[in-house]
Amino acid sequence: MPPLIHFENVDIFQRDLLVLKEVSLSVSNGEFVYLIGKTGSGKSSLLKTMYAELPVQGGLAFVAGYSLVELKRSEVPHLRRKLGIVFQDFQLLNDRSVTDNLLFVMKATGWSDKKLMNERAEEVLQSVGLSTKGYKMPHQLSGGEQQRVSIARALINNPEIILADEPTGNLDPETSAGIMVLLRDISLTGRSVLMATHNYNLIKRFPSRVFRIENGLVIDDPIESYEGSPENDHDS
């Protein structure tokens, strides 16, 4: 089975600025992978390339069966239905309930059967441990619960890949650990999970494959190199 994400010698630009050069990486089904690097190193740019917000230049780039090099604008929504995206700041709609946040996404991605929509909303909320919170407004939830809603939203269309951009960045260590367990469990269902972070403590506590971004390059790092990282290094 081909990898769900496969880049070969891809250059990534933000406007006219070269952010990452000659990116080569592969991520298989069910793999949990960290993207680490300092703030501004290009982690978010790489993720944005994967969901076709930034264009790919040169090389080969395949995500969930789509060639990003040859991707037509009309195909972008189809690609994104195969992806679930989790942001650091949750990006929930504050004027509607948790369930209505999920229904909004379903309507926007082509769902129409109200019974199926409500069943799916209940299903994903249960999968993230929030089966009794659907009626609540986002401001009534803790930060960790809001991030779980964000993950539930990412799971709505049963994606093949979860892209998580600093999903624990606004959370305390204990809450972050709960989110990590949830994301690792999601990878065990066969989905690929690619998580951007600069928190070395998470990598030490939940070891997995690491891609390090440094000086415009993406390097496949051995996990052993993080076992001796300083305990409180949150910004390296």
Confidence band of 231 (pLDDT split at 50, 70, 90): very low
- Mean pLDDT is lowest, of 5-9, 15-19, 135-139, 144-148, for 15-19
- Mean pLDDT is lowest, of 7-21, 131-145, 171-185, 219-233, for 219-233
Name the token pair of 94: 């504050």
Q: Where are the domains of the chain?
A: 96-158
What integer pLDDT is reported at residue 24 of this predicted model? 95
Please give the mean pLDDT across all residues of the chain: 90
Phi, psi at residue 6, to the nearest 5°? -145, 115
What integer pLDDT is reported at residue 199 of this predicted model? 87
- Provide mean pLDDT across the span 10-39: 92
| Non-local CB neighbours of 7 within 8 Å, separated by 6+ positions | 23, 24, 25, 26, 59, 60, 61, 62
Q: Read off the amino acid at residue 176.
A: S
Q: Read off the amino acid at residue 143.
A: G
What percent of the chain clears pLDDT 70, i.e. is strictly above it? 94
**Would you say residue 203 has pLDDT above 50?**
yes
Confidence band of 236 (pLDDT split at 50, 70, 90): very low
Alpha-carbon separation of residue 31 from 28, 34, 69, 157 (angstroms)? 6, 10, 24, 19
What integer pLDDT is reported at residue 30 of this predicted model? 93
What integer pLDDT is reported at residue 200 of this predicted model? 87
- Mean pLDDT is lowest, of 35-44, 135-144, 221-230, for 221-230
33 neighbors 208 (Cβ within 8 angstroms): yes
What integer pLDDT is reported at residue 184 of this predicted model? 94
Confidence band of 38 (pLDDT split at 50, 70, 90): confident
Query: pLDDT for 64-113, tens place per residue?
Result: 999 999 999 999 999 999 999 998 888 899 999 999 999 999 999 889 99
